[in-house]
Structure 1
Amino acid sequence: MIPAAFDYTRPSGVDEAVGALRDGGEDAKVLAGGQSLIPMLRMRLASPTTVVDLGDVTEMRGVRDDGDALVIGAMTTHDEILHDPLVHEHAPLIAQATETVADRQVRHLGTFGGSLAHADPAGDLPSVASALDATFEVAGPSGRRSVPASEFFVDYLTTVLEPDDLLVSVRVPKLTGWGTHYEKFNRVAQAWALVGVAAAVRRSNGSVAEARVALTNMGPTPVRAYGVEDALTGTAATEDSLAAAAQRAADGAEPSSDPSASAEYRMHLATVLTRRALQAAGGA
């Protein structure tokens, strides 16, 4: 199909982009990588009055070291994430999950911030941001503010972003000395995850000192598996203890049933994939 007519603007800075969104009203849309928006335009599932193309906003690109954290620009592509040495050194979980995103062509165009702002519960990166306790820098007409990942995702395809807000960057704490792993199950290669698990484990003297686990596609937003984290912390990092903690993976989850999988099957997958992710991250 042919998209409905819309105005198009390509700002060169964050403030200019926020102004364009404000002027465009609540039906204005941001074009980041376009891997989600363009199909929606063509199918007329979205009919914006204005499309604000962020391709020239250089401030929103790249990865930089900021002391105890990395700051990743929202317009940094998946491919740039995969080849960034800082990400591999300090936030390998992001690289592990990004490697599973779609195919090479999509990874060259799709953006880190675009995936997070789109907030698809089957997307891989929202659960990773949740597991890493990331913080989102948001720019709006009233200035900039920081939003923790635990508050950023509100509902299905919905975040705290207002129509004239812009996700500028994501601050990710460095996990030095942690083991990480992203485990994903999909029916065919390059498909959305039926269920995914982002896991990070810090060991000390053979025991689990800290653990962070978040689930993909187990509810309308990323699901932080606090039950698993509580069950693991302070226990010996053995295969049995990791498997026992994984039994609590679906606590509080609200998976849906659809033609790809039933809610019951997703609950089962969450347990199996969490055990695998913990074993890989925890070294058991």
Structure 2
Amino acid sequence: MKPAPFVHHEPRSVEEAVATLAEVGHDGKVLAGGQSLIPVLNMRLASPNHLVDINRLPGCDRVEVGDDHVRVGALVRHAQLLADARAASALPLLGQALACVAHPAIRNRGTTVGSIAHADAAGEMPSVAVLTGAVIEAASVRGTREIAATDFFEGPLETTLEADEVVVAVRFGRFPTGTRTAFLEAARRHGDYAMAGVAVALGVTDGVVSDARASFVSVTPVPDILDLTEAVRGREPGTVDWSTVADAVAAHVDPEADIHASADYRRALVIELTQRAFAAAAQEGVA
């Protein structure tokens, strides 16, 4: 299949890119890695008349590690971020989740920021963005604004981004020292979209659990956070019976049935994954 005809724009600066978006409005789409957008165009699920290709924007291919964040530019490929030792040390959850993203060929081209802007509830990186308290940096002719990840996702493939805005970077928040993380998902084949997945963060202070939070993949309409702290606070991580979180997870998620799995199966699957992820985080001691 082939996409419908479109005009291809190649801006050479953020200013030029947002000016083009301001001109074409809802009739335009932003192209970065294209691993999500191009299949949608080929199947004609979307037929924009303008593609604004941002691959030549300077400075958008950088990973920056700060005291409280890891900033990822809009053109940083999944593989680049996965291989970044400083980012992995500062925020291990990034690498834990990126290793589950599709296949190497997809990771070599697809962008981490693009997967967040695409807002697919079956994607790994939106759940990581929410759990880390990420901030989305969006630019337009009006200037730059910052959007909290918890306010960014409105629905499946829907965000609060305006038609004339482009995401130039995402700042993932670093966890406090002592936080342990894990990411698990289950798919029919490795690299397929997950039937269910979970990212967890387990805070440990003075040898006992201080907080426990989770964000999910494929089982909620938008990525959000489930706070499980009250069920486990004050316990030594290795002694927690993680089956105690099952009821809370079951009540929180809202999976849909499809040709791959029933809603009940997805719910049971994500409960098991959540228990395993927290158990793994409790043993890892990843800071």
TM-score by length of 1: 0.95
**Which whole-Å CA distance do the structure 1 matches of 2:166 and 2:250 have between them?**
33
**Secondary structure of the corresponding residue to residue 71 of structure 1:** strand
Shift of 1:252: 2.6
**Which whole-Å CA distance do the structure 2 matches of 1:150 and 1:224 have between them?**
9
Q: Deviations over 1:141-161 (max 9, x none)?
A: 321111111111110110111
Structure 2 letter corresponding to 1:251:
A
Structure 1 letter corresponding to 2:221:
P
Instruction: Name the residue aligned to 1:224.
Output: 225
Instruction: Name the residue aligned to 2:133.
Output: 133
**Secondary structure of the corresponding residue to residue 241 of structure 2:** helix
Root mean square deviation, CA, Å: 1.5
**Which whole-Å CA distance do the structure 2 matches of 1:20 and 1:123 have between them?**
28
Matches within 5 A, 1:154-165: 154-165=154-165
Shift of 1:236: 3.0
Shift of 1:178: 1.9
Cα distance change, pair 164–233 in 1 and its aligned pair in 2 (3 A): farther
Instruction: Name the residue aligned to 1:36.
Output: 36
Instruction: Name the residue aligned to 2:234.
Output: 234
Asked if the contact 2:150–2:224 (Cα under 8 Å) also holds between the matched residues in 1, the reply is: no
Q: Deviations over 1:136-177 (max 9, x none)?
A: 111123211111111111101101111111111111222233
Asked if the contact 1:197–1:216 (Cα under 8 Å) also holds between the matched residues in 2, the reply is: yes
1:215 aligns with 2:216: yes
**Which whole-Å CA distance do the structure 1 matches of 2:231 and 2:273 have between them?**
16
Instruction: Name the residue aligned to 1:190.
Output: 191
Shift of 1:245: 2.5
Instruction: Name the residue aligned to 1:265.
Output: 265
Instruction: Name the residue aligned to 1:65.
Output: 65
Instruction: Name the residue aligned to 1:89.
Output: 89
Unaligned runs of 5+ in 2: none
**Which whole-Å CA distance do the structure 1 matches of 2:133 and 2:198 have between them?**
15
Shift of 1:237: 1.6
Cα distance change, pair 11–230 in 1 and its aligned pair in 2 (3 A): farther
**Which whole-Å CA distance do the structure 2 matches of 1:207 and 1:177 have between them?**
10
Tell me which moved more, 100-109 or 52-61.
52-61
Instruction: Name the residue aligned to 2:204.
Output: 203
Q: How many residue pairs were aligned?
A: 283
Structure 2 letter corresponding to 1:192:
Y
Unaligned runs of 5+ in 1: none
Shift of 1:244: 1.4
Asked if the contact 1:225–1:250 (Cα under 8 Å) also holds between the matched residues in 2, the reply is: no
Shift of 1:239: 4.5
**Which whole-Å CA distance do the structure 1 matches of 2:151 and 2:165 have between them?**
15
Structure 2 letter corresponding to 1:180:
T
Asked if the contact 2:18–2:166 (Cα under 8 Å) also holds between the matched residues in 1, the reply is: yes
Instruction: Name the residue aligned to 2:52.
Output: 52
Shift of 1:250: 2.9
Structure 2 letter corresponding to 1:211:
A
Asked if the contact 1:155–1:221 (Cα under 8 Å) also holds between the matched residues in 2, the reply is: yes
Asked if the contact 1:202–1:282 (Cα under 8 Å) also holds between the matched residues in 2, the reply is: no
Asked if the contact 1:198–1:277 (Cα under 8 Å) also holds between the matched residues in 2, the reply is: yes
Matches within 5 A, 1:104-143: 104-143=104-143
Shift of 1:100: 0.8
**Which whole-Å CA distance do the structure 2 matches of 1:114 and 1:14 have between them?**
16
**Secondary structure of the corresponding residue to residue 27 of structure 2:** coil
TM-score by length of 2: 0.94
Cα distance change, pair 65–223 in 1 and its aligned pair in 2 (3 A): closer
**Which whole-Å CA distance do the structure 2 matches of 1:241 and 1:134 have between them?**
30
**Which whole-Å CA distance do the structure 1 matches of 2:235 and 2:245 have between them?**
10
Cα distance change, pair 234–135 in 1 and its aligned pair in 2 (3 A): farther
Q: Deviations over 1:105-132 (max 9, x none)?
A: 0000000111001111111111111111
Structure 2 letter corresponding to 1:225:
L
Tell me which moved more, 53-62 or 244-253.
244-253
Asked if the contact 2:209–2:236 (Cα under 8 Å) also holds between the matched residues in 1, the reply is: yes
Asked if the contact 2:81–2:87 (Cα under 8 Å) also holds between the matched residues in 1, the reply is: yes
Asked if the contact 2:178–2:205 (Cα under 8 Å) also holds between the matched residues in 1, the reply is: no
Shift of 1:133: 1.0
